[in-house]
Structure 1
Amino acid sequence: MMIGALYVSQGAPFGLAMDFLPTILRSEGASLSSLAWLPLIGLPWVLKFLWAPFLDNLWSPRLGKRRSWILPMQAMIFVALSAIAVIGVSERTSSLVVILFVVTSFAAATQDTATDGMVAEYFSSKMLPLANAVQVAGTLVGFFLGGPAALIVAGYFSASTAVSVMTAIVLFGFLFALFWRERQAAHSVARAETKASLAGFVRRPGALNVAAIAFLTAVTAVGGFTLGKVFLVDQDWAVEQIGKIGLAGGGVTVVLGCGGAALMIRLTGVRTALTISVLCSLIGSLLWLSMTLGVSSSTVWLAGLAVMLGSVGTGGMSVAAMTIASCFAGTANQAGTDMTIVQSSRDFGEMLTSSLALTIAASAGFSSAFALLGVSAVITLFVVRMERTCSDNAAPLCLDLHAFQQTTVPDRTSGTPR
């Protein structure tokens, strides 16, 4: 429960910045070209690998290896969101709001390194699909609370009220971390291990393959979320209506996307889960494309179907990619750093695609942007199907069921496989 609460609390500000903010500003008349710069708020998520080794190497024995960083980052998020709630979200205050969201992005990204490392260290390989489902679902629940749910609250009340509600969610996660106590045995072992480093990740066999899979799945998954909502704004949809359809998509992401992927990984392996998830995203992009080309109208049912398919694909790809990453990171002594580098690859893909899609939509139209997302899905599908399994020493990605089940993760408290 605590892991889920932490991921929700770090996902909420990300949803506010990447989904809520551009939709609110667009509804107030902001241009698409100006909105194209907003994904840069997520830059700390891309660059966090630069300071990730410090989180693995520097911490207080009194607070614990992961708690030493989680608590101050949660406090920073709370203060920044409280300030945004006070000044309000509007085109007039947008410059200061963006700065404050950069602060929350830095804090949430840093906290993510600590929480990802904790998941990789504390769970065995057989439990990783479930743990990663909670991990991804928690982040997505936070994202959809900060995005669609906040839009609904803003539509009925105000943007400041919506941000205030998200601030309370962050406080809830902080209280969980405040009363949690880490296993002391893990700390003594960690102190004696080799220092974490970026080079330590690059030197490991299969590391770049893991990062590439993470990047491609993020590129395929993310574009439709923000782009679809901005398109619906231009189709004169009300903000609260967009929020409702997005919130429904969030539920599908968590239940069918994350839950379904966790089950498929246990039954059939990561490759099958990835393939099905990418196909769902591809079909969703094609539906959006048909609406932008005028082949079909942007009805509630068709837009809802596009959102649902994209949601299933996003949840499934995220769980599969993070399961591969956790399996990989858990076998070394720098889980936080390894997970952060892989997550940074995903975040770079998300930020690049969000910004590029909005830029293309502004210059060449929404149809060109959605066509690009469809092409990225086809490329991802090809790479997933062609990637060798972890039984091949050249690419140990655990993409087949047998190899995944045979993978062991060192127990951080005793040095034996779990």
Structure 2
Amino acid sequence: MNLNLQPDTGRVPDNNGQLAVLLAISALYISFGMTIGLIQGGFPTIMRAQGMSLGAVGWLYALYLPFGVAFLWSPLIDRWRPPFLVPELAWIVPMQLLCVLSVATVALLEGAALSLLFTLGLLVAFAMATMDIALDALAVERISAGWRPRAAACKLAALSIGAMIGGGIFVALYPPLGWTAIFLSYAALLLLLMVPALFLGKATSHSAKTEEQKKQGASLQKLLRNPVQRRRLILLTLTCCVIFPLSALNRLMLVDLNVPMETIGSLVGTLGPITMLLTAWISAPLMRRYGLPLAMMIFTGLGILALAAMTLGYLFTQSWIAVAGTIGIGAAVSGIFVVLSARILGWSRGNQPATDYAMFYGVGRFASTLATIAVSQMVALINWPLFYVGGAMALLVVVGLLRTSVQEKE
């Protein structure tokens, strides 16, 4: 069945141009991964180790909410671009610079009120989420169909490197370096990672939209009115609500298992992203050889094994098994994420790439953030093994439902 809903628009670079685009967007995805890693794996782990209750730690994931609701302002990114910059950088540069300035401000506010720091954290999340929408739109417009598996794998690899920095190296180096040095270094790295995109803008500045497309305007309703796109969005959101809580809360489980924070930061925070990098390396050839549906099922099988390992590790107080399972579920979820990323690049190909891509990712992010907060409260009332058993059953159900949509042609 051919579901080519919308024709491709815009000029797609040749192989050298494709490689340049991949390098530039990968650098920016590293900065995005750093921020996500800090929110997911940095602050919650430190706060839990300092004695904060599991329920209270769960609320720290509220910093992730701007990433989930960014789709609400994504039509603006499709309709209007700030002046004085080439189109490819019109949103990316200002938002990245806002992140840099906000993080540098945080570095100078050690000991400030928690409410002020939390507000600055939300500002960083807002700016990074907006930058990510513009970056995703650039990928949708400039990556050809044959390069989508590689683009999805590069995105995972970049996010993994960023997560290693934000959720691993940050946690490990924070005690010896201190607040000011670590956040100033963080800001400097964000600035450095923007440089490749500056050259990309000079090389590929181009407006792909026709005047008629501009008059039509981007809107969230366009995607929601399309029954095929709407079904894809619902299934994708359900999948996110399962896979992200299964991967986000496991460091808290390790803390409850009395695994030292230094071990969590240095071992899980490092081996986890390295495993994700390996997943990125094998996922592209796996998808090209066996197809997206079978690749997704292979990673789902890995996820079931990882959940079993964490359940056994917790029940029998075997921390090394629980750590192995924590690393394994990260790789499994990452593999599923790569398959979905490759498919979403095609699903979003049309007249409003920023809006469609942001809807596919944003609604899932928002719903999965709420699900993660809710599950953290639930785990405090039940136990970790029951959570993992239920999670394994839910994973099999949602992946089975999503398989049909992944098989569909665009």
> 1:345 aligned to 2:391?
no
> Which residue does the alignment assign to 2:407?
399
Residues 64, 184 of structure 1: 8 Å contact kept: no
> Which residue does the alignment assign to 1:414?
none
CA displacement, residues 74-111 of structure 1 (integer Å, 9 cap, x when unaligned):
011112222222334x8x84333222211111111111
> 1:380 aligned to 2:394?
no
TM, length-normalised to structure 1: 0.85
> Which residue does the alignment assign to 2:351?
333
How many angstroms does 1:140 deviate by? 3.0
> Which residue does the alignment assign to 2:333?
314
Of 268, 272, 275 in structure 1, the residue corresponding to residue 290 of structure 2 is 268
How many angstroms does 1:57 deviate by? 0.8
Structure 1 runs, 4 residues or longer, greater than 4 Å off? 182-185
Higher mean C-alpha displacement, 355-364 vs 171-180: 171-180
Amino acid at match of 1:22: P
Cα distance between partner residues in 2 of 1:357 and 1:270: 29
What SS is found at the alignment partner of 1:36?
helix
| Distance of aligned partners of 1:205 and 1:240 in 2 relative to their CA distance in 1, 3 Å threshold | same
> 1:369 aligned to 2:383?
no
Higher mean C-alpha displacement, 29-38 vs 47-56: 29-38
How many angstroms does 1:315 deviate by? 1.5
Identity of aligned residues (%): 23
Cα distance between partner residues in 1 of 2:171 and 2:205: 44
Amino acid at match of 1:359: Q
> Which residue does the alignment assign to 1:4?
26
> 1:252 aligned to 2:272?
no
Structure 1 segments unaligned to the other structure (5+ residues): 388-396, 408-418
State the number of aligned residues: 385
Residues 11, 141 of structure 1: 8 Å contact kept: yes
Cα distance between partner residues in 1 of 2:388 and 2:105: 36
Amino acid at match of 2:143: F
What SS is found at the alignment partner of 1:333?
coil
What is the 5 A alignment of 1:19-418?
19-60=41-82, 62-88=84-110, 93-181=113-201, 186-187=206-207, 189-193=209-213, 194-246=216-268, 247-256=270-279, 258-292=280-314, 294=315, 296-300=316-320, 302-330=321-349, 332-385=350-403, 387=404, 397-399=405-407, 403=409
| Distance of aligned partners of 1:244 and 1:350 in 2 relative to their CA distance in 1, 3 Å threshold | farther
Cα distance between partner residues in 2 of 1:184 and 1:255: 31
> Which residue does the alignment assign to 2:11?
none
Residues 70, 130 of structure 2: 8 Å contact kept: yes
| Distance of aligned partners of 1:164 and 1:237 in 2 relative to their CA distance in 1, 3 Å threshold | farther
Higher mean C-alpha displacement, 139-148 vs 34-43: 139-148
Structure 1 vs Structure 2 CA RMSD: 2.3
